[in-house]
Chains A and B, each alone.
Chain A
């Protein structure tokens, strides 16, 4: 074989192997860059999620404090003011009237103590974890029915199982938010609460017969209670559906898969004020 031909052969073989090697090295570099990019995106998503979670937790705390403040102002303060007035007037009355006033005041103070105790129970996270979601909603339902403002009915289908501390807390807060909205804005006479426990699906439905609202209001209401309900549901891996139209009440449904494990929905829930 001529020397030139041998050189051509060797060169072409070397060039071929060099090309293959260069392609493989190029692919490795490209792959590594893709891995880094994916990792950065994942970190950004996790960071955004953590911020969202923190924001929701702070909002929940603020709303809880607002709720407490409102309850104390609307109920406790009013009643105690009346008791103070009543006792002041008792001093100027006859013995019979005095005793009647004192008895009335004692009953009112007893009522305030009961209301404060109920309020404390509804705020307490430990209360919810101890009794579970159904029982806690049942207690709230009885409290609301006793007030006579609205008629609340509660039903629970299926075998009740624990959903996890944080999930149950968030679901309870959604229930409280919805209840507040119904009492303050809807003008409803009835509120139906249904909890459905199936093996691969949990559903919480809250339906009232109030004035309802248009879907446009929901779309525009960023940062409002309704948007909070959706955000809170997302945090625990649930889907919140809000259906309403003017004159036809409002139906809020929260569904989640109890088998789905999410970092923020499982495990021991820390003290919500810490």
Chain B
């Protein structure tokens, strides 16, 4: 069952990447990056399955996923924000996180041994903050088109949903830790979140039109 879920997840992100490629000429730069992030997620998912099958250990992929996800989505936020101070803060956060990732991978949560929760949790906090700030900026500079047709809305909703759900997931993990045979519930819940996140990303790619995003802005 789990193999089916992980394989279908891989296909899902691949299809989303292909949708992004098909609509590439209508996408603005941040959504072009989003397309490439889907391909990256697909590649890492495949590598994770290979490492799991061969070495029963996909921790290195989780480390790589953690930092590449952060860099990709932070750069996307950099191009979506208008506020220069927030843009600078994003650049600083990318540098700080990259350095922290290296230190964490070497000293605290070794690359081949442990899940990088020291990087993952602050990452989710930052994504939640970015998404709330972007929602606020959207209210300051409303576009003329219906919000349901705005790709920024769908991307931001996806990020807020994903970031906040990760904390909830952590809470459930701790709660269920006292009971045996809980891991399946968590894994299924985790994949449900991931699926919903990528479906929202797909909607963002389908609704994106750089003509509206650039001309109606501000």
The chain B residue sitting closest to A21, CB to CB, is: B161
Contact in complex: B157, A1 (CB < 8 Å): no
- Given A1-B182, A31-B147, answer yes or no on A9-B175 (Cβ-Cβ < 8 Å): yes
Q: How far is the CB of A218 from chain B (nearest CB, A)?
A: 34
Stretch in contact with the other chain, from A22-30, A55-63, A247-255, A261-269:
A22-30
Distance of A34 Cα from B138 Cα, bound (Å): 10
Counting CB contacts under 8 A, is B144 at the interface? yes
Give every chain A residue within 8 A of B144 (Cβ-Cβ): 35, 39
Contact in complex: A27, B135 (CB < 8 Å): yes
- Given A1-B179, A20-B164, answer yes or no on A30-B157 (Cβ-Cβ < 8 Å): no
Q: How far is the CB of A12 from chain B (nearest CB, A)?
A: 8
Candidate in B144, B148, B168, B176 with the most chain A CB atoms within 10 angstroms: B168
Give every chain B residue within 8 A of A38 (Cβ-Cβ): 142
Give every chain A residue within 8 A of B135 (Cβ-Cβ): 27
Chain B, 174-201, contact with A by CB distance < 8 Å: what is the 0/1 string?
0110010010000001000000000000
Interface residues on B, range: 20 to 34
Secondary structure at the B interface, as helix, strand, loop or mixed, is helix
Chain B residues 149-180 with CB under 8 Å of chain A are 157, 160-161, 164-165, 168, 171-172, 175-176, 179
Counting CB contacts under 8 A, is B2 at the interface? no
Contact in complex: A9, B172 (CB < 8 Å): yes
Candidate in A13, A16, A24, A27 with the most chain B CB atoms within 10 angstroms: A27
Give every chain B residue within 8 A of A9 (Cβ-Cβ): 172, 175-176
Counting CB contacts under 8 A, is B139 at the interface? yes
The chain A residue sitting closest to B143, CB to CB, is: A35
The chain B residue sitting closest to A36, CB to CB, is: B142
Counting CB contacts under 8 A, is A32 at the interface? yes
Distance of A211 Cα from B109 Cα, bound (Å): 84
Interface residues on A, range: 10 to 19
Give every chain B residue within 8 A of A13 (Cβ-Cβ): 168, 172, 189
Distance of A147 Cα from B50 Cα, bound (Å): 98
Please pick, from A5, A16, A30, A34, the residue contacting B168 in the complex, using a CB distance under 8 A.
Answer: A16
Contact in complex: B139, A34 (CB < 8 Å): yes
Distance of A12 Cα from B175 Cα, bound (Å): 11
- Given A20-B161, A28-B147, answer yes or no on A34-B142 (Cβ-Cβ < 8 Å): yes
Please pick, from A5, A24, A31, A39, the residue contacting B139 in the complex, using a CB distance under 8 A.
Answer: A31
Contact in complex: B179, A20 (CB < 8 Å): no
Distance of A24 Cα from B171 Cα, bound (Å): 22
Give every chain A residue within 8 A of B182 (Cβ-Cβ): 1
Contact in complex: A31, B160 (CB < 8 Å): no
Q: How far is the CB of B107 from chain A (nearest CB, A)?
A: 34
The chain B residue sitting closest to A15, CB to CB, is: B168
The chain B residue sitting closest to A42, CB to CB, is: B144
Apart from A9-B176, A20-B161, A39-B144, what 6 extra A-B contacts exist at CB < 8 Å? A1-B182, A13-B168, A16-B165, A20-B165, A28-B147, A31-B138
Residues of B within 8 A of A (CB): 135, 138-139, 142-144, 147-148, 157, 160-161, 164-165, 168, 171-172, 175-176, 179, 182, 189
Residues of A within 8 A of B (CB): 1, 5, 9, 12-13, 16, 20, 23-24, 27-28, 30-32, 34-35, 38-39
A-B pairs with lowest CB-CB distance, top 10? A34-B142, A1-B179, A35-B142, A31-B147, A16-B168, A34-B139, A28-B147, A38-B142, A24-B157, A27-B135
In the assembled complex, 17 residue pairs joining A and B whose CB atoms fall closer than 8 Å, in A order, are A1-B179, A5-B175, A5-B179, A13-B172, A20-B160, A23-B160, A24-B157, A27-B135, A28-B147, A28-B148, A30-B139, A31-B139, A31-B142, A31-B147, A35-B143, A38-B142, A39-B144
